[in-house]
Amino acid sequence: MLPRVCVHAILVDVSLTNPFDLIKIWAINVMFKIIDKHPAIFVLITVSLIMTLLNYAAGFFLEKPAEHALIQQAMRDQKAVLENIYGKGMAKDYKIVLREQGLGQRYYPFVEYLEKPRKGKFVNVSEQGARCHYPDRESCTAKGGRQEIWIFGGSTTFGYGVKDSETIAANLGRMLPDFRIINFGAGGYYSTIERIRFENLLTEFPPPRAAIFIDGINDFYFFNVPDKSIFTNSYSHILNSEEQSDSLVKDIRARLEGLTIYRLFVQKFGHSIKVVATSANHEQILKAIHRLSLNHSIIESIGDKLGITVLNVIQPIPLYGVGHKTSHVPKERLNFGDHKNSGVAYQMMFGPNGDFSHPNSRTLNLANLGIDEGMYVDTVHYTPLFNEKIASEIHQKISVQFATNND
For 349, residues 6+ apart whose C-beta sits below 8 A from its C-beta are 289, 314, 355, 356, 357
Residue type, 390: I
Q: Is the pLDDT of residue 166 over 90?
A: yes
pLDDT in tens, 84-94: 899 989 999 99
Q: If pLDDT is split at 50, 70 and 90, which confidence band does 103 have?
A: confident
pLDDT in tens, 332-350: 888 888 899 999 999 999 9
Number of structural domains (the chain) is 2
Cα–Cα distance, 401 to 361 (Å, whole number): 8
Q: Which residue has the higher pLDDT, 24 or 52?
A: 52
pTM score, two decimals? 0.75
Cα–Cα distance, 348 to 359 (Å, whole number): 14
Domain CATH for 391: 3.40.50.1110
- Judge if 35 and 104 occupy the same domain: no
Alpha-carbon distance values, 116 to 187, 198, 246 (Å): 11, 18, 31
Residue 391 lies in a domain: yes
Residue 20 lies in a domain: yes
Q: 78-86 and 66-76 helices cross at what angle (nearest 10)?
A: 80
Residue 268 lies in a domain: no
- Judge if 301 and 367 occupy the same domain: yes
Please compute the mean of the pLDDT values over residues 35-53 and round it to a whole number. 77
Domain ends where: 31, 58, 85? Answer: 58
- Judge if 35 and 122 occupy the same domain: no
- Judge if 21 and 129 occupy the same domain: no
Residue 253 lies in a domain: no
- Judge if 103 and 199 occupy the same domain: yes
Q: If pLDDT is split at 50, 70 and 90, which confidence band does 248 have?
A: low
The number of CA neighbours under 13 Å toward the Cβ of 246 is 7
Q: Is the pLDDT of residue 159 over 70?
A: yes
- Judge if 167 and 51 occupy the same domain: no
- Judge if 84 and 166 occupy the same domain: yes
Among 30-39, 183-192, 270-279, the least confident range: 270-279
Cα–Cα distance, 7 to 60 (Å, whole number): 38
| Strand locations in 13-55 (E) | none
Residue 30 lies in a domain: yes
Residue 198 lies in a domain: yes
- Judge if 42 and 100 occupy the same domain: no
Note every long-range contact of 355-361, with CB atoms under 8 Å and residues 24 or more positions apart, other chains counting: 355/289, 355/290, 355/292, 355/293, 356/289, 356/293, 356/314, 359/314, 361/401, 361/404
Residue 69 lies in a domain: no
- Judge if 8 and 139 occupy the same domain: no
For 111, residues 6+ apart whose C-beta sits below 8 A from its C-beta are 189, 193, 196, 197, 200, 229
> In terms of DSSP H, where are the helices of 59-90?
66-76, 78-86
- Judge if 11 and 137 occupy the same domain: no
pLDDT in tens, 349-376: 998 888 787 878 899 999 999 999 999 9
Average pLDDT, the chain: 83
For 49, residues 6+ apart whose C-beta sits below 8 A from its C-beta are none
The pLDDT assigned to 36 comes to 75
Q: How many residues are present in the chain?
A: 407
Residue 68 lies in a domain: no
* Domain boundaries, position 51: 4-58
The pLDDT assigned to 66 comes to 47
Do the Cβ atoms of 287 and 339 come closer than 8 Å?
no
Q: If pLDDT is split at 50, 70 and 90, which confidence band does 138 have?
A: confident
- Judge if 166 and 32 occupy the same domain: no
Report the DSSP pairing between strands 124-125 and 145-153: unpaired
The pLDDT assigned to 257 comes to 55
Cα–Cα distance, 298 to 27 (Å, whole number): 73
- Judge if 158 and 9 occupy the same domain: no
